Amino acid sequence: MGSAKDSTPERRLERELSSQQTLLDAVMNASYDGICLISPSGRFLEMNEAFQHITGLRREDWIGRTIDEMRATPGTARNSAALQVLKGSYPATTLVNAQGGELLLVTANPHFDESGELLSVILNVRNFTQLSSLKRQLERHRGEAALDELERSHLESRLRNSGLDDFVVKSPAMVELVSTAMQIADYDLTVLIEGETGVGKGVLANLIHRSSRRRGKSFIQVNCGAIPESLVESELFGYESGAFTGSAPGGKQGLFEAADGGTIFLDEIGELPKSSQAKLLQILDDKMLTRVGSASPRRLDVRVIAATNRRLRDLARVGEFRADLLYRLETIPLFIPPLRERPEDLAALIEKLVESCNREYGTERSLSAAAVELLEGCEFPGNVRELKNKIVRLILTGTGPEIDVDAVRREFERESPETQADAPSANGSMKARLEEVERRILSEASDRCSSTYEMAEQLGIDQSSVVRKMKKYGIAKRRNG
């Protein structure tokens, strides 16, 4: 039996802490990923066996030493993900070469306490070269089980016949989406396409049109958010002579009339002013259009496809979008998943984009297998549009016939916070530095997004918080935001 001393609260607490530390050590050393803890001052606190094996750094040599000391050591990486976190308090990812020539993927995440103070930085290191090899083997085994090859081949054949063979359908989600789109193409039903910015909503709308009986007629694409509010009705619905000061003699045909017999694609439908939403609802209900300044309606034969990256149901709930129009638009709702949710499409999409870029610009460059694998391991918040922009830059700025993994790494490092002129200063209080980071993030989101609702969705905070913080930092508001 144990002594009375062993049963004291202090002794029990000591045993519990020791047990928890033993468990933590076991978990860290059981991980195949390298794990390292770094203090807010940049000192190495702990590292597991995998981290030592992958990086070649020995625990006894580096515990207590700093990142700056490591960067000054010959043969070690200069581009530090942990340093980016310490400067900006946001997650960071870098790619570094190991001493053996293998490529390492390093991800750093900040760990805060309840008051928002930085407690530590958690580094996660993976051997990208080994992972790529394992991934290729796994994909070969999964291959046919993941998708019905016959269905996919049939879809790709129909895409080629529609002139849209750049549309990639490798993942189960895209196979189902494109199958549904083609199935309903010939029915004159209103379609609402939802999805994040850059996923290809316009491409899907074009596919529906080209697969329908209206394929020989006009396909008119309209960005509702790009038309000044005062001109929306005259641009969409047309006007009669003398309808307003400065109107053209004889009036003007609107975009709906230009699409008569074909399809009109209303992109960013969530930006349509409420005054115009009622008129659109009337067109959808009775197929009649009345020009501005006219009392005589005109018969209209047009199919409407709408798209949005906003949550229309949320807008309808707060009265910013007509609920009856929403119900009319989403007769056939289609959702395009973001690129991060369909990694099976990435390799084929990269190949298509490279081919398209070479064809458009008269180049003859390709990406190495390692470069493609590196791109497959990256996230693209801007989805297909962001990926396309990176491919174009890689192809047009390349100096040889093949784009290697170093060129891809440089492309990502070009956007690294550590290389940006407005990176947060290392000086000042924690509060001031965090506010500087928050201001920059909001400013970038404001440039990237069409409204404060979209900003809120991307940043994962309430729209009211976005508005309040933009006012705090003097960032100009967006229209309808």
Structure tokens, 290: 């009345």
Helix, strand, or coil (residue 35): strand
Where do the CATH 3.30.450.20 domains begin and end in the chain? 17-128
CATH fold for domain 344-398: Helicase, Ruva Protein; domain 3 (1.10.8)
CA distance 197 to 180: 21
CATH fold for domain 416-481: Arc Repressor Mutant, subunit A (1.10.10)
CA distance 88 to 447: 20
Check whether 400 has a pLDDT greater than 90. no
The pLDDT tens digits of the residues spanning 124-151 come to: 888 766 665 555 555 554 444 444 444 4
Amino acid in position 90: Y
Rounded mean pLDDT of 470-475?
79
The predicted pLDDT at position 68 comes to 85
> Residues near 101 by Cβ (< 8 Å), separated by ≥ 6?
none
Where do the CATH 3.40.50.300 domains begin and end in the chain? 147-337
Contact status, residue 106 vs residue 125, Cβ threshold 8 Å: yes
Among 114-118, 182-186, 475-479, the range scoring the smallest mean pLDDT is 475-479
CATH of domain 147-337: 3.40.50.300
Helix, strand, or coil (residue 367): strand
Q: What's the chain's length in residues?
A: 481
pTM, two decimals, is 0.57
Q: Hey, how many other C-beta atoms are within 10 angstroms of the C-beta on 404? A: 14
Does the domain formed by 17-128 have CATH 3.30.450.20?
Answer: yes
Structure tokens, 255: 């975009």
Rounded mean pLDDT of 35-40?
91
Check whether 267 has a pLDDT greater than 70. yes
442 φ/ψ angles, rounded to the nearest 5 degrees: -65, -40
Structure tokens, 455: 């900003």
Q: What angle do CA 94, 200, 470 make, to 5 degrees?
A: 65
Helix, strand, or coil (residue 34): strand
The predicted pLDDT at position 30 comes to 77
Where do the CATH 1.10.10 domains begin and end in the chain? 416-481
Angle, helices 383-397 vs 369-376, to 10°: value is 150
The pLDDT tens digits of the residues spanning 358-377 come to: 988 899 999 988 888 888 87
